[in-house]
Each structure stands twice: as C-alpha cells, then as structure tokens.
Amino acid sequence: MHFTEDQIAKALETFHDLKSATKVVRKLGYPSTKQLYKWIKKEGQPHQERKHHRIINTPEHPPHAPFNVKLEAIRRCYEMGEPMISVAKDIGYTYASIYYWYQDYKK
C-alpha cells in the first residue's frame, strides 16, 4: 500500500507525541507497526532517488534478437548441453534472455 507524504508525516508526528507504535496504529488506522518502524528508521535520512540503468544496444546486438539467434542459443543450451553463461557471452545477450526465450519457446 502506498502512503502520501502527509500521511507519513502525520503518523511520525503522532508517534513522537504518543511514544507508542501500537497506539498510533489504533488512533490513525494505518500503517502497520512494521511499516511505521521502517518510517521511523528512515526519518531524518536524505531521500534516495532510484538509479536508472540505461541499456545501449549496438547494431550487432539489437534489443530484440532475431528468431534464428534465439533458436540457436536454445539448441546449444538445452539440446547440446553447453553452459548457458558461455553461450550468452558468445552471442552477446544475457543468460536470463536465453532462459526467457526458452520459456517462450516451450509454450
């Protein structure tokens, strides 16, 4: 469940007045005591922004691999028994991609 900044501030203020997480939950009806303790722990710390990872694809490794590349990787890993990591390094995609391709192929 997502709470607004105002709700979080009100819960923390109420906690500092009452000095009891249980009493805060009973009075406000939110959050759980576990959530309140998380907010208390984070209180006063600077807000951390999420890291955004940017993936740059090259012409040799487009974001969506051609079907023949996918089939060849699946064949090498699941029929011939090559380690998935070595196949992934060889073709330039992650081993997670090969696994997902295989899951789609099985359907």
Domain contains 81: yes
The pLDDT value recorded for residue 16 is 92
**Number of domains the chain is built from:** 2
Domain contains 49: no
The DSSP string of 10-21 is HHHHHHHHH--H
The pLDDT value recorded for residue 63 is 79
The pLDDT value recorded for residue 56 is 65
Provide the token pair at 50.
């999420």
Domain contains 21: yes
- Domain of 72? 67-106
d(CA 51, CA 89) in angstroms, rounded, equals 25
Please enumerate in sequence order all residues whose Cβ is within 8 A of that of 55, keeping only pairs 6 or more positions apart, or say none: 63
Mean pLDDT per 10-residue interval, the chain, length 107 residues: 87 92 91 91 79 67 86 92 90 87 86
Sign of CA dihedral 5, 6, 7, 11: positive
Provide the token pair at 91.
């073709």
Domain contains 34: yes
The pLDDT value recorded for residue 52 is 67
Domain contains 51: no
